[in-house]
Amino acid sequence: MTAKLSYSDLRAFASSPAHFKAQMSAPREVSASMRIGTATHRLVLGGPAPIVFDGTRRGAAWDAKCAASPNPDEIMNGREYSLAEAMAESVLAHPTAREYLDGAKYEVPLEWEYAGVSCWTRGIDILASDRLGDLKTMPSVMPRKAMRHAEDLLYHAQLGWYDLALEILGYPPRTRPAFLLCVETRPPHDVLVLELEPETLDKGRRCCHAWMEQYKTCSATDTWPGYSTAPVPWALYSAGLELDDSEVEA
């Protein structure tokens, strides 16, 4: 269905093949939180400077701004930029964050083949011979909440995707745990480095492998089912069982 898969493409299988197909067919919509996250990344890791426009997002001035920008969806207003700037400043001023950033390469693009499928990433956020990490913005970096948020959004699978790519491309294993460099989206914009134990990273890798096998099967048969093709017992959820969608589908 697509010539080259990114993690964000493959992750749609965490919902269902139907959601993957819909995501690949629909135009990309950029929300305010996505603009803020992108700008925070660039202010910390480098890249094109965020474009700010504080006027009305219509009319001749807006049209001219869009025409001059390679990615009009990423144009921010002043409030969004101020928030991204505050988060970036907190990350860069945090001593533990600096330890994990210093000496690394940022936004490292890769292309590889996995299970016979061409894959790519626009950039691994933080990569060095001894470490692999990703910069994330989130509502709270209280450790328990940050861990739950990361698990819910499958951030461990994203790091697993990168880890698989590095292994396929022949990079030597990192000597330090893979990590998430997390910053709060609200003041005081606290910062947390969340390290993944090997078992969690392996779980993320297995998620990616399962999604890839599902992608190959769906592509071969041109069949893209939704959450479930069979009735789901109400008691499966009302009993309080903590099953994720992939377990229910299985």
The predicted-structure confidence for 219-235, as pLDDT tens digits, reads as follows: 999 999 999 888 988 88
Neighbours of 61 (CB within 10 A): 12
Establish if 2 belongs to a structural domain: yes
Establish if 246 belongs to a structural domain: no
Report whether pLDDT(156) > 60: yes
Report whether pLDDT(106) > 90: yes
Establish if 154 belongs to a structural domain: yes
How much is the pLDDT for 247? 44
Q: How many domains does the chain have?
A: 2
Main-chain dihedrals φ then ψ at residue 89, nearest 5 degrees: -65, -40
Please check whether residues 145 and 188 belong to one and the same domain. Answer: yes
How much is the pLDDT for 250? 36
Please report, rounded to a whole number, the percentage of residues in the chain having pLDDT higher than 70: 94
> What's the whole-number average pLDDT of the chain?
91
Please check whether residues 167 and 120 belong to one and the same domain. Answer: yes
**pTM (2 d.p.):** 0.88
Check which CATH number belongs to the domain holding 164 and give it.
3.90.320.10
The predicted-structure confidence for 45-58, as pLDDT tens digits, reads as follows: 998 888 888 888 88
In 58-154, alpha helices (H): 60-68, 78-93, 95-101, 143-152
Instruction: Show the CA angle centred on residue 247, arms to residues 234 and 249, nearest 5°.
Output: 70
Please check whether residues 133 and 64 belong to one and the same domain. Answer: no
The predicted-structure confidence for 20-30, as pLDDT tens digits, reads as follows: 999 988 877 88
Please tell me the distance from the alpha carbon of residue 222 to that of residue 144, in angstroms, as a whole number: 41
pLDDT band of 239, cuts 50, 70, 90: low
Instruction: Give the domain range for residue 55.
Output: 31-77
| Tokens 């590095």, residue located | 166
Please check whether residues 136 and 214 belong to one and the same domain. Answer: yes
Establish if 227 belongs to a structural domain: no
Establish if 245 belongs to a structural domain: no
